[in-house]
Amino acid sequence: MKQGVIIGFLGKTQDRFSEYQKPVGVKEKLEIVKQIEGFDGVEIVFPYETGDAEETKGWMKELGLNFAAVNVNIKKEPEWVPGALSRPIKEIRDRAVDMIKRGKDYAQAVGAPHVSCCPLADGYDVLFQVDYSTAWKYMIETVGEAADYKPEIPLFLEPKYSETRVHCQLDTTAKALLLLKEVGNPHTGITLDMGHSLQSQENPAQSLVTIYESGFDAYIHTNDNDTKADWDLIGASRHLLHYVELMFWAQEYKYDKYFTTDASPRIFGMVDFFERHSEVTSGVYKLAGKLDHQKYRQLMAEENYIELMRLVNKEIYRL
Ligand SMILES: [Mn+2]
C-alpha cells in the first residue's frame, strides 16, 4: 500500500475560532512530506498551491515524491462561495467547469493520475433557498462537461454531507454515484473520504463496495471523526473496526491508488501527527491483509455470523 497527504494541511489552517500551525510555501510542504515516515504521495490543491508545473515537478522529482491526485478547489473564489457547479447563472458555472478543465491540464503537465473535486459550496443553508430541480440538472451538465474534457485524466467527485454549505448537493456516496450514472462517462470516479462517509451515516467499507459494483473507480481519503462533523481526526482514533473493514474490502477489490491523508493536525505537532496516522493506517492495512479473506467471505455466504464475530474478537481486537 502507498500513502500520501493533501499538502494543504501541512501549513496554516483555520476554523471559525482559531488559526493553527505556521504558513508554509509549497516547496517547504513537500519537504515536510519527505520527513513523514511512510508518506511519498502528494495531493496538491489547484490552483492555490500549484504554481509553475515544471518547477513543482522538479521539486517532486528531487524529493522522490509522487502525485496521488490534483485537488481542484471550486469553493474559494468569492463568486463560488454560495455554489459553483449548480448555480443558476451560466457564467458562474462555466468558470467553475473551466477551473476543473485547467486542473486537468495541470495534472497532465505534472503527470498526476487524476483530479478530484469536492463541490462543497454547492448546496444550501436554509429551505426555500435553491431550486433543487435546476441545481441537480446543472450539476449533471457541468460535471459532464468537465468529465468529457481530457478523459485520459479522470474526474473524481468527493461527496460530503455538510460544510461549507449546511447541506451539500452531493451529500452521500449514493447521490454522487447517481450523478455519475446520469453523466454516463466511464472516466469518472468517487473519492471516498472515510470521514465524509461517516458523517453521512454510511459505512465506508460498504460505500467503497457500492462504488465498485456500480462500475466506477474509487480513490480513498483517510481520517476519522465523531460522525457529527468532518473533524479530520487521525485515522482509527474513533472507528478502528470501520478502518479494518474498509481496508479488507479495498484489498478485495485490489485497490492500488494512494491512501491519501485528509486529516488536520490542528493542536498536535505536525510531523508526529502524520507519523501516527501513517503508522496506524499501514498497521491496519497489514492487519486486514493477514485475515483469511476467503474464510471471512465463505462465512458470510454461509451466514455464520457468530463465527465471524468470534474471528473479529480474536483476530482484529485480539481479545
Ligand atoms: Mn477528503
- Span from the CA of 207 to the centroid of ligand 1 (angstroms): 15
* Residues of the chain predicted below pLDDT 50: none
DSSP for 227-277, please give it.
SSS---BPTTSS-HHHHHHHHHHHHHTT--S-EEE----TTS-HHHHHHHH
- Span from the CA of 148 to the centroid of ligand 1 (angstroms): 23
Four-residue CA torsion sign, 147, 208, 206, 157: negative
Per-residue model confidence (pLDDT) at position 249: 99
Q: How far apart are CA 249 and CA 192, in angstroms?
A: 13
**Do the Cβ atoms of 180 and 190 come closer than 8 Å?**
yes
Per-residue model confidence (pLDDT) at position 49: 93
B/e letters for 35-53, b = 16+ CB within 10 Å, e = fewer, are ebebbbbbbbbbbebbeeb
Give the number of other Cβ atoms within 10 Å of residue 178's Cβ.
15
Per-residue model confidence (pLDDT) at position 173: 98
- Span from the CA of 134 to the centroid of ligand 1 (angstroms): 26
Per-residue model confidence (pLDDT) at position 80: 97
Per-residue model confidence (pLDDT) at position 4: 98
Per-residue model confidence (pLDDT) at position 151: 98
User: Is-cis flag, bond preceding 47, omega within 30?
Assistant: yes
Per-residue model confidence (pLDDT) at position 209: 99
pTM: 0.97
Per-residue model confidence (pLDDT) at position 220: 99
Per-residue model confidence (pLDDT) at position 104: 98
Q: Average pLDDT of the chain?
A: 97
C-alpha cell recorded at residue 90:
451560466
Q: CATH for 2-291?
A: 3.20.20.150
Per-residue model confidence (pLDDT) at position 296: 98
